[in-house]
Amino acid sequence: MSEAIFATAAAPSTTTASAADRVDAGAPVRGRGVTIGLRVLRVLFALFYGWAGVPKVIGDAASRQGFREMGFADWSMHVIGGLEVLGAIALLIPLLSGISALAFSALMVGASLSVLTTMGGAAALMPLLLIVPLAGIARAQRRETAKFVKLLRQAVRRA
C-alpha cells in the first residue's frame, strides 16, 4: 500500500526506486530562512564542540584536572576531546551532520550523568539542554542520514 502512495507522488520510471530514493522524492522543500537557520545552528554547535574538544585533545592542565576530579583517566579526556573535534567537523558536512548530532546527544547524556554523580545539581542540566537543538539538527538532516546509511550499506556489500 505504501508503495502505491510513493508511486503516485513520484514520476513514472522504468526502474525500481530504493527506499532512500522514495524518501527523497517526497521530501518537503525548506524555506530559505529555515535552511540558513539550520546552517547557522550547525556552525555554532561545531564551534562550541570544537572549542571544547581542542583543550582536551592537547591535554590542557585545566581539562586534565577536571577529568581527574571526576575520577576519569587522562586517556578518557583525549578520547572525549577527539570525539568532540571529529563531531564538530562532521556537523559541518551535511551528509554526516545528522549522525553527528545524534552522537553528541548520546555524549551529552553521558556528560550529564558524569556531572550529576560528581558535582550534582544544576550543572548536570546544561548538557541535557543541549540535546534539544541537537535533536532538531538530527531531525532536519534525517534525509541526509538516510543517504549516508544507504552509501554505507552499499560499501559493506561491496567489501
Query: Does some domain include residue 3?
Result: no
Say yes or no to pLDDT of 4 above 60.
Answer: no
Answer yes or no: is 65 within a domain: yes
Is residue 140, in this structure, part of any structural domain at all?
A: yes
- Is residue 14 a part of any domain in this protein? no
Is 11 within the bounds of a domain? no
* pTM (global) more than 0.85: no
Instruction: Tally the domains of the chain.
Output: 1
> What's the average model confidence in pLDDT over 90-102?
96
Q: Assess if residue 20 is contained within a domain.
A: no
> Residue 26: in which H helix or E strand, if any?
none
What's the start-to-end Cα distance of the chain, in Å? 34
**Residue 38's domain spans which residues?**
30-158
Q: pLDDT tens digit string along 41-61? A: 999 999 999 999 999 999 999
